[in-house]
Amino acid sequence: MSERLDLQRRFFAEEVQAVCNLRTPQLVEALATVPREAFLPPGPWTIRAEGDYGGPPRQTPDASPRHIYHNISVAIDPARQLFNGAPGVVAMCIDALGLEPGDAVLHVGCGRGYYSAIIAECVGSSGRLTAIDIDPDLAAEAAAGLASRAHVEARQGNGVEGIPAAAYDAILVNAGVTHPHEAWLRALKPRGRIVLPLTFTMPQMGAIGKGVIAVLRDTGSPESLEARVLTMTAIYSAVGIRDAALNDKLASAFMHGAWPVFTRLRRDAHEAAPACWLHGEGFCLSA
């Protein structure tokens, strides 16, 4: 069974690589070797896939780990309907960070730590990973699951407070936010990268927000970062670090129906103009 599961993981990794056009070899290898089941509650598992849109989640037939090596989301807390995200989407986000051995990474919204383990494998023992989750139980589960990796620190927090300046080559945010927080922008090293979901919420949507995943990249200029849209997303909203006014601005921008167009994150002071897709205090996503 162990050998067959190893083959299943390898096929799973190569399928995600092919479908998502992954370009980071160490990411594909991590998908093929990190046991997803080690970062989940005991099976059978509650799962969701694209075919379940609009309906209830499903259950795996039994507790065999082979059922979770597909491009599906798996519940990490079924009672609260909290899911470990679909590998195709999260792997695409990790790939966009362009991780290399030795990189220092901040992972905000780490859940029980599966994708943190993937990132840890990408940066290797010469790298460093700080994994944070707002939920104390999930943070404790992540800390336990990642304990064997000496270059990983997992802890509870909101992902904004206590973040040191110029400390990270890459930041992955795994919860919907309304804007790139100043703490994250300050935390980037030269040529640093951030991937984060920019989402709006409405009362009828509950904890789920909709929007886009954005990629930001430092270019050495104090006044701007490169910015682009990676893909659309629907994701759980971050707790305690969203801005209500920017949520309304995001909702208005998306309600116009146009695909978001921005090429940079401006940091200079300026008045809102037609080229400003999302204009906030201290930042502006602009065409």
176 contacts 152 by C-beta, under 8 angstroms:
no
Active-site annotation holds for 126: no
Quote the tokens at residue 115.
Answer: 């994708």
Distance CA 243, CA 171 (A): 20
Q: How many residues does the chain have?
A: 287
CA 207, 254, 133, 45 dihedral sign is: positive
Long-range contacts of 274-281 (CB under 8 A, 24+ apart): 277/253, 278/179, 278/198, 278/246, 278/249, 278/250, 278/253, 279/249, 280/179, 280/243, 280/246, 280/249
CA 237, 53, 196, 136 dihedral sign is: positive
269 contacts 259 by C-beta, under 8 angstroms:
no
Quote the tokens at residue 192.
Answer: 């640093």
Distance CA 94, CA 193 (A): 11
Which of 2, 73, 126, 286 is the catalytic position?
73
Provide Rg for the chain, Cα atoms: 18
Cβ-Cβ contacts under 8 Å for 192 (sequence gap 6 or more): 168, 169, 170, 171, 217, 218
Active site residues: 73
